[in-house]
Structure 1
Amino acid sequence: MEKKQAPISFTIEKNYDSDFCGSIPLHLVNLIQPHGVLLTLEKDSLRLVQVSENVEQLLGIPASDILDKPISAILPPSQFELFKTHVQRKVNQVKVPFSLTFLVEEKEAAYTALVHPREDYVLVELEDNQSSSAKDSFLELYQQIKYLTSLIKGAENIQEIAQITVEEIKKLTGFDRVLAYQFDPQWNGVVIGQAKEEGMDDYLGLRFPASDVPKQSRDLYYSNPYRLIPTREYTPVRLRPLINPLTQQFTDLSDCNLRSVATVHLEYLANLQVRASMSMPFIVDNKLWGLVSCHHRQPMNPSYEIRSALDLLAGIVSAQLAAKEREHTITLRAQLRGIHAQLLEQLYTTASLSEGLLSGASTIMNLLNLSGAALLFEGAVWTGGETPSAQDLKELIYWLRRNNTDKLFATDTLPHQYVRARDYKDVASGLIVLPINAAQGDYILGFRAEVLQTISWGGDPNQAIKLEPDGKSYHPRNSFATYQETVKHTSLPWLEEEVEAAESLRSAVLEKIIKERY
């Protein structure tokens, strides 16, 4: 059975984002995950000034022996030239992993390298590329990406794009569960696509509070193509020395895939009953639109080839999401322009402003999807559809004037902002205001009725964070059982295209009034 969910843009009264979690400097942890090595080099000399303490395990050289030496000492000449080419790339260029061969105990050993040039230093991430296998070959990955691309291009809507994406990523990677989230305007994530193994919890249609991905974590998705945790049961590795000798500060690990994970997030994964995770962002119009989140019940470390394929797929899907949203916007704007043209003709061919707006084949209610509308002009009041009483309208106008509402204003939560509106929430939980002459109390008002929405959360959002008595330590919720919340005093949201149409109508009305008077 298909699950129903509230509209993505539906306004939820409580803000579930976390300023506390969002203020933690995740990029300055100075710890990495142990499945790779981090090197910090002085930019001009390429001298190693800081290394992760597990460098001996990967390169076979103790940290004390490698520090303060040029990286050329452990690279064959041809590999050193390749390395310099990547270092000299501009900072704003896309960072592409490449294979780098080191001299380890007089033998050559190949690693996957990722270079992050900074103003004063260079960060190098190294991972053993022996995890790559024949199934990760370029040809096979290319075929799978092309197949997925053709599928999502034929999708009819965003939900279908999301579902196809998670199903194909699950096939490609072997993760036990793959979820696609879309963020609502308050940064709560709504699961709009899911592919999972039998017996795993079902999260399709559920909302997860914004505190699950706080602002600091969301911001890092702009600089990281993915976030991988091969296992939550790891011991973090420190950098040596602890302070970057070139900056005398903690090293900024914002761009690093190896960056260690906050303890609270590892606890969150444990509560989800998963041991490995990977997530990729959907970036639409330079904004974080949503995420793909992959879960596995056992440790999993996808090869760099697979990760790179997922990075590419996330970009392709983001482009298709943007195209689908543009397509919807173009269609809606065309419809609204048609209604606006009819309404404009009606305004200039009828005897009065009220008749032009509230009567006839096209009305302001058709244009803005209203359940009721009112015109308050030159001391008179005209209404159409379901509206508050005349006395309630006068008091509402007084509130608008007191709050200096002289520009177009729209809200889908009027009773939350204007308490008196709770008395007539059934007809006016949503309000759009088109001022004509605010100083004189002349307005066009559009109303939307209350729409009760039952939202299903993945766990109680009010218990998303549990602070310790010290006020510093905290834990994530330990239950993701469905928690239902009924949202009251709220109407359907105002679409950006509808607000634009309202502003165009307001301009047309003002122009008509001016022409008639002067």
Structure 2
Amino acid sequence: MDHDRSCTAQSVRDYLVLPDRVDLNNCDREAIHIPGSIQPHGALVAVTREDGIVRMTSANAAEVLGVPAVMDRPLRELVVDVSPPGLASSVRTTGAVRQLQTVMTQDGRQLDAVLHRTQSMTVVEFEPAADELSLGRLLAQVSEAGAALDGRSLEDAWQIAATTVRRLTGFDRTMIYLFNEDGHGTVVAEDRRLDLDAFLGLQYPASDIPKQARVLYLRNWTRHIVDSAAEPSPVLPALIPGTDEPLNMALAQLRAVSPIHLEYLRNMGVVTSLSMSLVSDKQLVGLVACHHYTRRHVSFAVRSACELLARLLSEQLARATGLTREEEERERRAVQLGVLRHVAEAGSPERALEAIAAQTLDVFDASAFMGKLGDTVRTHGPVPVDASEIVRMLEDQPDEDLIEVQHLSGLADPESGGVLVVRVGHAPATSFLAWFRPPVTMTTTWGGDPTEGLEANGDRLTPRGSFSAWSETVRGRCEAWRERDRRMATTLQRALATGEAGLRGEDQDVSTVIDALTTYARDLERANAELRAAAADREEMISAVAHDLRGPLRTMSGFVGVLGERFADTDDPMATRLVERVTGGADHMAQLLNGLQRWGRLGSGISLVTVDLTDAVDTVLQSLGASLETSGATVRVGPMPVVNGDPALLRELIQNLVENAVKYRDPERPLEIGITSEASRGSTVLSVTDNGVGIDPADVEDIFRMFRQLRPGQSEGIGLGLALVSRIAERHQGHVWVDSTLGVGSTFSVKLPLPTKEY
């Protein structure tokens, strides 16, 4: 079927910033989610879900699939299914979450087919499949890296991730790149070829990654650019048949690349790149960025494995960020209560401001303080400006209750530093608190001069051409005010909103104070709800990636089975060992994926019903009968209560604890397991005791973390059992702990409160 390309280009002109017009002036407005073309190393078709007929296709699809024509043909006629459930079924059922199938072309080439739904179409992308025999090594490396990440400091985790991703992909350079609050980014970890210049510690301007690209990184966690010099293949027709809409390729793996970004890569000498998102609290906080200086295609399976690592890294970052925010929240509450107490005891604006200065200077890392309540002004330390200047700032910006300045240019000496001002009360009130920071000399080392890029003819801005380390020194500015400072200032503003009126002698009643406290409590609950939602999103994403990896795993297992049968009658011990190693890796990865999906499902709500723990324990012991008999275990069960909980999750909790006792039994003596319970202030404490090898006190803090095994390689499993026990206990508003003596045995106890509502 022929298409008039000139007409096609004209029909999408309203939707696209055309490549010959894209430069640094308009790249942040470029519609990169509807480029109208794909990278040519693969092919794309869009089919109607009802009948599986191809309605849109990349111009190179016939060549990639090895067929004479693609348009208006059923998908089943173009390729042969290799992995279940098959393309025809997947086209009808796939959703916005991508789905992977393995197919074979008519001439025997194996391809990955990645499906997702957009608008009224199901998009199927084809690209070369992974070498199946290499998947065993891939899966083993992912499992090892997941275990290595857990429990490490963020700095160590960054380096482990960079090294692992480079080993998985074979790229010349892998970097962990984190964004600052101003949007600029810093390379915090790197693994590279030794002959390459180091990028570690370099900063890159926010403009290197435009706003719309950051939005897409939140929707599509991986971005693979195979050849920065390749000509894209157009998708035809340009508009979805029967509509005036171009195909939205936000989730497409093969989506064509912005011309300005391709120019940026070529200026760096980069031919192939791969990026994975780092996300915390639904915000893009960084990237795992990989560069290769010759053409290199990374299969979907390898990209999925790298994405899983990025998600685990994001989870660790989110956990650390959550702990930091909890500490900040405790600090804010303590400062708020301290300020309110001192204001209440002060009796006068003068004494109140003196107390605030004493309590908050260190909190804001400030060198000076100025406060104004009504007509009373107090200062502490070397204040560089007069109170009237701060009042003028507030009057000039009546809509702002919080003003931050890094450089008091025009208000004071050029070397005077900066100020953070919070209005006390609402505009036009001019009462305020202000903290001053001294100037510092700041030197930033950029990856190239960020201002470079104006071509000689001056009519077009382009990406900079040099990326050598370029240092910039700034004087007279203070250290940047952070989000933590802004939140603390806002907290103090609320704390003083009612107290300030009382200090000036104005009337206020109890209802005013109650209203202020109610507002604060409502804001706190909203923040908690946002944190719960972010945790649920992370768990859902982990489950989705685990699902993605099942496709290549099933394919690999099938091929290894065929190889095993082929070598069964040969005398080649090396071939037999290789097949056994790959089979073992596949089995181990299957356990890992099952565990990850169970972990992900724990993020969803659980329904609490009455559960008889006697029945739950009996069911578990019956299912583990063969294992207990083989280990020679004697199990004693005490009286069990009736509790409220999720029956399946409580059975899994008990089973994991019993299996742990079997796994870490002492071979020098018969295994004895005791399962008991006792009441504790309206809660039930369920305990599983064994006489196994016990736990070294140094390891106690680690055993409930994901992928952590006390004896890696010496016992079966993947290190998720006790982590799941801890998570299940948390979902029941309880917790787990262990008392253990090395060489004597262990007692794992789970406190299960009796909740009265669903979570």
TM-score normalized by the length of structure 1: 0.84
Residue number in structure 2 paired with 1:483: 470
Report what 2:92 is aligned to. 88
- How far apart in 2 are the matches of 1:79 and 1:168? 28
Q: Following the alignment from structure 2 to structure 1, what is the Cα–Cα distance between the partners of residues 329 and 205? A: 32
Does residue 23 (structure 1) correspond to residue 29 (structure 2)? The answer is yes
The one-letter code sitting in structure 2 at the alignment partner of 1:403 is Q
Map of 1:123 onto structure 2: 123
Asked whether 1:144 is paired with 2:141, we answer yes
CA gap of 1:361–1:494, structure 2 versus 1, over 3 A, is closer
Kindly state the Cα deviation for residue 466 of structure 1 after the two structures are TM-superposed. Answer: 4.3
Write the deviation string for residues 379-415 of structure 1: whole angstroms up to 9, x where unpaired: 33211112135xx22233133224326x631314353
Shift of 1:446: 2.0
Q: Which residue number in structure 2 is paired with residue 420 of structure 1?
A: 410
Q: Give 1:469 shift.
A: 5.2
Matches within 5 A, 1:138-217: 140-157=137-154, 159-217=155-213
In structure 1, C-alpha distance between the alignment counterparts of 2:224 and 2:482, rounded to whole Å = 36
Q: Post-superposition shift, 1:18?
A: 5.1
Whichever residue aligns with residue 165 of structure 2, its letter is I
State whether residues 356 and 363 of structure 1, in contact with CA within 8 Å, keep that contact through their aligned partners in structure 2: no
Q: Tell me the residue number matched to 1:454.
A: 443
Which amino acid is 1:512 matched to? G
Shift of 1:342: 3.4
Following the alignment from structure 1 to structure 2, what is the Cα–Cα distance between the partners of residues 196 and 235? Answer: 28
Matched-pair identity in %: 27
Contact 1:43 1:121 in 2 (8 A): yes
- Structure 1 residue 360 displacement after superposition: 9.0
Change (3 A) 1:370 1:100: same
Q: Check the 8 A contact 1:412/1:492 in 2, yes or no.
A: no
Query: Residue 71 in 1 paired to residue 75 in 2?
Result: yes
Report the CA distance between 1:265 and its aligned residue: 2.6
Check whether the contact 1:18–1:214 (CA below 8 A) recurs between aligned residues: no
- 3-state SS in 2 of match to 1:185: coil
- Once the two structures are superposed, residues 197-235 of structure 1 have per-residue CA deviations (whole angstroms, 9 ceiling, x without a partner) of 112121111111223222232222233231112233423
Aligned residues of 1:39 and 1:124 also touching (Cα < 8 A): yes
d(CA) in 2 for partners of 1:481 and 1:510? 51
CA distance in 2, matches of 1:263, 1:329: 40
SS of equivalent residue, structure 2 residue 257: coil
The aligned residue for residue 7 of structure 2 is: none
Matches for 1:225-236 after TM superposition, within 5 Å: 225-236=221-232
* Equivalent position to 1:400, from 394, 397, 411: 394
Contact 1:177 1:295 in 2 (8 A): yes
Aligned counterpart, 1:114: 114
Residue 326 (str. 1) matches residue 315 (str. 2): no
The aligned runs of 1:245-324 (5 Å cut-off) are 245-324=241-320
CA shift digits 1:79-120 (9 cap, x unpaired): 79622332233533x213221244x15xx5532101122232
Residue 152 of structure 1 deviates from its aligned partner by 2.7
Does 1:34 pair with 2:40?
yes
**Which residue does 1:10 correspond to in 2?**
none
Q: Which residue of 2 aligns with 1:50?
A: 56
- Alpha-carbon deviation of 1:259? 1.9
Q: Which one-letter code corresponds to 1:394 in the other structure?
A: S
The one-letter amino acid of 1:145's match is V
Query: What amino acid does structure 2 have at the position aligned with 1:156?
Result: S
Pair 144,182 (structure 1): closer, same or farther in 2 beyond 3 Å: same
Give per-residue Cα distances to partners, 1:239-261, cap 9 Å, x unaligned: 34455434355433222111222
By how many angstroms is 1:270 displaced? 2.5
Q: CA–CA distance in 1 between the matches of 2:73 and 2:429?
A: 78
CA distance, structure 1, for counterparts of residue 382 and residue 472 of structure 2 = 28
* CA displacement at 1:133 relative to structure 2: 4.0
For residue 193 of structure 1, report the CA deviation from its aligned partner. Answer: 1.4
Q: Per the alignment, do residues 223 and 349 of structure 1 end up closer, same or farther by CA in structure 2, a change over 3 Å counting?
A: closer
One-letter amino acid of the structure 2 residue matched with residue 430 of structure 1: V
> What are the ranges of 5 or more consecutive residues in structure 1 without an aligned counterpart?
1-16
Q: State the alpha-carbon separation in 1 of the partners of residues 323 and 459 from structure 2.
A: 51
The root-mean-square deviation of aligned C-alpha atoms, in Å, is 2.9
Partners of 1:289 and 1:269 lie apart in 2 by: 22
Residues 180, 192 of structure 1: 8 Å contact kept: yes
Equivalent residue letter for 2:360: I
Judging changes above 3 Å, is the alpha-carbon distance between structure 1 residues 304 and 362 closer, same or farther for their aligned structure 2 residues?
Answer: same
| Distance verdict in 2 for CA 1:180–1:465, change over 3 Å | farther
* Aligned mates of 2:238, 2:216 — CA distance in 1: 22
Matched residue SS, 1:348: helix
Deviation digits for residues 331-386 of structure 1 (CA, Å, limit 9, x no counterpart) = 23323433443343333333533323325994232343321111223433211112
Q: CA deviation at 1:280?
A: 1.0
Partners of 1:148 and 1:444 lie apart in 2 by 49
Q: Secondary structure at the match of 1:421?
A: coil
**Residues 419 and 436 in structure 2, CA contact (< 8 A), matched pair in contact too:** yes
Q: Within 2, Cα distance between the matches of 1:378 and 1:23?
A: 47
Per-residue CA deviations over 1:434-464 (Å, capped at 9, x if unaligned) read: 3247646332222222233111111111114
* Aligned position for 1:4: none
Residue 114 of structure 2 aligns with an amino acid whose one-letter code is: L
Counterpart of 1:45 in structure 2: which amino acid?
A: D
Q: Which amino acid aligns with 1:123?
A: V
Letter in 2 for 1:332: E
Query: 1:431 Cα deviation (Å)?
Result: 2.0
- 1:471-510 equivalent positions in 2, closer than 5 A: 471=460, 474-510=461-497
| CA distance, structure 1, for counterparts of residue 374 and residue 450 of structure 2 | 48
Deviation at 1:479, TM superposition (A): 0.6
- Equivalent position to 1:387, from 364, 375, 383: 383
Pick closer, same or farther for the CA change 1:360–1:368 going to 2, 3 Å: closer
**1:475 counterpart SS class:** coil
Between 190-199 and 443-452, report the one with greater CA deviation.
443-452
* CA-CA distance at 1:307 after TM superposition: 0.9
Deviation at 1:429, TM superposition (A): 0.9
Q: 1:488 to 1:246 in 2, by over 3 A?
A: farther
Distance 1:52 1:402, change over 3 A: closer
Question: Structure 1's 242 and 404: CA in aligned 2 closer, same or farther, altered over 3 A?
Answer: closer
User: TM-score normalized by structure 2?
Assistant: 0.59
Distance 1:121 1:361 in 2: 62
Q: Distance in 2 between matches of 1:465 and 1:96?
A: 44
User: 1:503 and 1:309, CA in 2 relative to 1: closer, same or farther beyond 3 A?
Assistant: same
Deviation of the 1:179 alpha carbon: 1.0
**Aligned residue type for 2:401:** L
Q: Deviation digits for residues 453-489 of structure 1, max 9, x if unmatched?
A: 1111111111146486554xx5321111122222344
Displacement of 1:21 in angstroms is 0.9
What letter is aligned with 1:20? N
Structure ID, larger Rg: 2
Deviation at 1:278, TM superposition (A): 0.8
**Does the 8 A contact of 1:451 with 1:488 survive in 2?**
yes
Match 2:341 to one of 332, 339, 345: 345
User: Kindly tell me: are residues 439 and 259 of structure 1, through their superposed partners in 2, closer, same or farther at Cα, counting changes over 3 Å?
Assistant: closer
Q: Secondary structure at the match of 1:211?
A: helix
Instruction: Give the match's secondary structure for 1:478.
Output: coil
Q: Classify the secondary structure of the residue corresponding to 1:228.
A: strand
Structure-to-structure mapping, 1:432-443, within 5 angstroms? 432-436=421-425, 439=428, 441-443=430-432
